[in-house]
Amino acid sequence: MTDTVHTFTDDALGTLDAVALAADLRAGRRGHREVLEAAINRVRQANSRLDAVQAECFDRARRAAPGTGDFAGVPAVIKDNTDVAGLPTCHGSAAFVPRPARRSSGPAAQFLAQGFALLGKSTLPEFGLTASTEYVDRPPTRNPWNTEHSAGASSGGSAALVAAGAVPIAHANDGGGSIRIPAAVNGLVGLKPTRCRLLDQPGVRQLPVHLVAEGVLTRTVRDTAHYLAAAERFRPNPDLPPIGLVEGPGDRRLRIGIVRHDILGRAVHPETEAVLDSAARTLAAAGHDLSETRLAVDPGFAEDFKTYWALFAVVMTASFTTTHPTSFRPWKLDPFTRGLARKVLRDPRAVPPAIRRLRTGTALYDAHFTDVDALLSPVLSHPAPRLGEHAPDQPFERLFDKLIDYVGFTPFNNVGGGPAIAVPHTLMSGNLPGSVQLCAPRGHERVLLELAYQMEQASPFPTIAPQP
């Protein structure tokens, strides 16, 4: 029997998305205090079953004055790899002694400027380096649609809380799929913006290849669209075309390429392909021109990305050892992080040529949109695995191979810098939500949001709980 967890009930949150809840709060139809207490109760209830909260700050939220901004008073959480003044940041790792951050990072400031009522920090796997929020020293974060399965990663805690109805929106970030992967397996909307669209974590833009983008996880397209518009107003990037507020489907007939095979040219799981086919039919019925295509990527791309991925473990370990000399204990790192570091240290000469080739990824990505306006693909190569399949305490090479088999589509956008969105679509076996990925040229988030609105209207997203 499938064990599903949700907190939707007839309280002050109801089944509202963030936009509707913010509108009710502004109009006085709902009170800030009752919304806050309802959300605190929901987070507690969800976390008791899902283990999705790294640190809570309920009393701090109660003491705080109501915020200002487009989402004033809307309860939310921030992923625990992002500094928030006064709260600890542990990056999903037992290697950190929890100590409050002195100041908020740029992404946290951009997020909190929208007026959210912050309830805490959400879980992630150690340093966000793997695709399932699982640990060696504590319970995993569970998927609310089916608690025997992974909630994805690295924004797994944020996704689980939003999908379960505890909060309508949550902060997330994405360095290889970490917004889109948990969005896909939890039936959510997850947009990875164009590189540098939003503020980045400290030091990210100084890395040899800039992979990470900030964003949110939501249950509706409009919540993602409204958040992106508000965040853009907070700090627009003058080097990118502005998005503005996207409020519904576009009216242009687009050329969309269907990508069925992953970066290595491999076919996907039959259920995953069935979801892709259904989404393609939905877009074709809306009048778009669809054609089959493939990712024109050299097979060596995967090896280069693996090398750079492994380098992250070395860089972060070294950085935290320097910046947190009294509160970071590298001997407590989990086996997967240590395995990644060993991979680099065994062959450090592989790093410079891998970086050099990955830096050509932007031009390679751009070339895919010569004849199409967008790409449609799976998010992942197969449905969410059962918990334990991607646990970090198994032999490193075995887990690394599993992750490459699973995450076959998302990293290309991180290397290329282009936007991509995970859109829920239909249900698969085991009560697991289906999802597809839409990609567009750099700077063209509007195209993705318009297509996502179109899919949402034509084929309403699966719901975890009966809607009134």
Contact 186, 145 (CB under 8 A): yes
Reply yes or no on whether 402 is catalytic.
no
What pTM value is reported for the model?
A: 0.98
Candidates 79, 121, 192, 343; catalytic one: 79
Q: How far is CA 178 from the centre of its chain?
A: 4
Maximum Cα interatomic distance, the chain, rounded to a whole number of Å = 62
Cis peptide before 327 (omega within 30 of 0): no
Evaluate if residue 468 carries a pLDDT over 70.
Answer: no
Helix, strand, coil abundance in the chain, percent, nearest 5: 40, 15, 45
Confidence of residue 207 (pLDDT cuts 50, 70, 90): very high
Residues with Cβ within 8 Å of residue 56, at least 6 apart in sequence: 43, 119, 120
Helix axes 396-406, 300-323, angle to 10 degrees: 120
Contacts for 363 with CB less than 8 Å, ≥ 6 apart = none
The answer for residues whose C-beta is within 8 angstroms of residue 311's C-beta and 6 or more apart is: 344, 351
Active site residue 429: no
Q: What is the pLDDT of residues 254-274, one digit of tens each?
A: 999 999 999 999 999 999 999
Catalytic residue among 122, 178, 377, 381: 178
From 377, 414, 324, 372, select the one nearest 101 (Cα to Cα). Answer: 324
pLDDT confidence tier of residue 206, bands split at 50, 70 and 90 = very high
The one catalytic residue in 93, 105, 122, 154 is 154
What is the SS3 assignment for 294? coil
pLDDT over threshold 60, residue 16: yes
Mean pLDDT in residue range 68-73:
96
Average pLDDT, the chain: 97
Could you give the domains of the chain? 18-458 (3.90.1300.10)
Asked if pLDDT for residue 467 goes beyond 90, the answer is no
Inter-residue contact 125 to 44 (CB < 8 Å): no
Q: Which residues contact 261 (CB under 8 A, 6 or more apart)?
A: 267, 268, 294, 295
The yes-or-no verdict on residue 409 having pLDDT over 90 is: yes
Answer for the pair 415, 209: CB distance below 8 angstroms, yes or no.
Answer: yes
Amino acid at 372: V
> Catalytic: 291?
no
8 Å CB contact between 80 and 101: no
Chain centroid offset of residue 82 CA = 14
